[in-house]
Structure 1
């Protein structure tokens, strides 16, 4: 008798287990796990042109765009821009940008990400790392990344100047200038600090603005000879070259030259 009862109970439990498995299987089929978002066609570049070339100018903005395929509603999109091993120069600061976007237009199925990010004027030029992370309401997330070059609006390169000059002669200076908005002017300032003015000498403080062949050029070589008066005191002089573009942006380059007898 007990044996029959045990067999009956065993069959009953087996049926219950089978039904539970069947019902769970059906429920799983009706509510399958949703995949993480997919990010495609991620593009970025100079903002004013909506460029896909991966560079942008300091003081302008970066255009960013991506298509998002999300099976569950997007809950946030995080954008990060930062540099590795770029040393800020004088007057420059590190730039580490991060923003979480939760605009209504992005909290949807399959949104398109489209933003413009301002680039500071006082950051180092060079390569920056971009990361875009999309998270859905189920906690699934996907990340894409890339790199962008941040470029100076005005760049000075291949700089050459005489190390010293005998007073009464001239010194030679040349360098390349690339100015996206065109050159307005180039100013040269030569001055000394704390030099004693001897007998027959006259303090020399030189400043001149150069226009001529340089005005409105976007790429040009600056090549000039600057006269040093025969009465200039002997010693070290500070030389500042300032390039101003047509939008009022400036770039300075500083050096020294020794005036000898």
Structure 2
């Protein structure tokens, strides 16, 4: 009787064990189907300007700026549930036009450095900004992609500025020979002013009796050297012997790093 009664119990235990293995297998399959969230990008900083944590993105983008010929600082924190496979940075503009001596600029680079191919990388790079690109507003995008193909992008706007800016011009267009003319404008130089050169010359003017060719060139440093903001204000004498006609004027500002900015205009000398 004892041996006979154990057979149903063994069969029952076998059934329970099989059911347990089946449920465990189903549970394992379910675990493999769990979807991981896409990476999150926070505290995205670029250029100079005010970047408060938690600041709304539109306000941040209005104040972010960088200078031509300098490097652009970028930083961001990336939270990822799966390992990051790449980080892509792109910069471009649809609102600026290259002028003479300038070239259009677009930047794109995919970063796959080992330090970024982890779960929660911190992005930190410096990008060179060419000195010969148009100034103005540029669009900047940062894209993080994980090894499962999930991706997240953040974007903003960056104002790229000249290291030397000339504005508020007030320069006489005509002057009688033997008199002086007035030239005035504002200068903003990030690296400090090294000097201001004025060049005035003419080509093809015929000399009359008693006239002498006039070519004016002078560099002004006193009162301007190393200033980042200054007002250029001068009165320049025109010799009484200068031939009447049209003259070409070039005002050149050089900063302490050797960058230059020119302003061209014309002056008519009358009798």
> Does TM, normalized by the shorter one, top 0.5?
yes
Correspondences of 1:187-198 after superposition (within 5 Å)? 187-198=197-208
1:27-65: CA deviation from partner (whole Å, max 9, x where unpaired) = 23344011111111111114xxx9746111111111100
Instruction: Give the distance between the partners of 1:248 and 1:89, measured in 2 at CA.
Output: 21
User: How is 1:237-248 mapped onto 2 (pairs within 5 angstroms)?
Assistant: 237-248=247-258
8 Å CA contact retained: 1:51, 1:63: no
Say whether the 8 Å CA contact 2:68–2:133 is kept in structure 1. yes
Output one character per residue of 1:137-192: Cα deviation in whole Å (capped at 9) or x when no partner.
11111100011111111110101111111111111010000111111110000011
| Runs of 5+ consecutive residues of structure 1 not aligned to the other structure | 1-19
2:8 corresponds in structure 1 to none
The question of 1:211 aligning with 2:221 is answered yes
Q: What's the CA shift for 1:252?
A: 0.9
Q: How many residues are aligned here?
A: 240
Question: Please, what is the CA RMSD of the aligned residues?
Answer: 2.1
Residue correspondence of structure 1 range 1-261 to structure 2 within 5 A: 27-46=29-48, 52=51, 54-261=64-271
In the alignment, the residues of structure 2 paired with residue 170 and residue 253 of structure 1 have an alpha-carbon distance, to the nearest angstrom, of 20
Secondary structure of the residue aligned to 1:105 is helix
Aligned-pair CA distance for 1:88 = 1.7
Q: In 1, distance between residues paired with 2:68 and 2:39?
A: 32
Kept after mapping to 2: 8 A contact 1:54/1:149: yes
In 1, Cα distance between the equivalents of 2:168 and 2:127?
32
Separation in 2, partners of 1:98, 1:190: 44
- Asked whether the 8 Å contact 1:235–1:258 carries over to 2, the reply is yes
Structure 2 stretches lacking a partner, 5+ long: 1-21, 52-62
Question: Segments of 4+ in structure 1 off by > 4 A?
Answer: 20-26, 50-53
Q: Distance in 1 between matches of 2:128 and 2:176?
A: 48
- Looking at structure 1, the residues matched to 144 and 87 of structure 2 have their Cα atoms a distance apart, in angstroms, of 5
How far 1:99 sits from its partner (Å)? 0.7
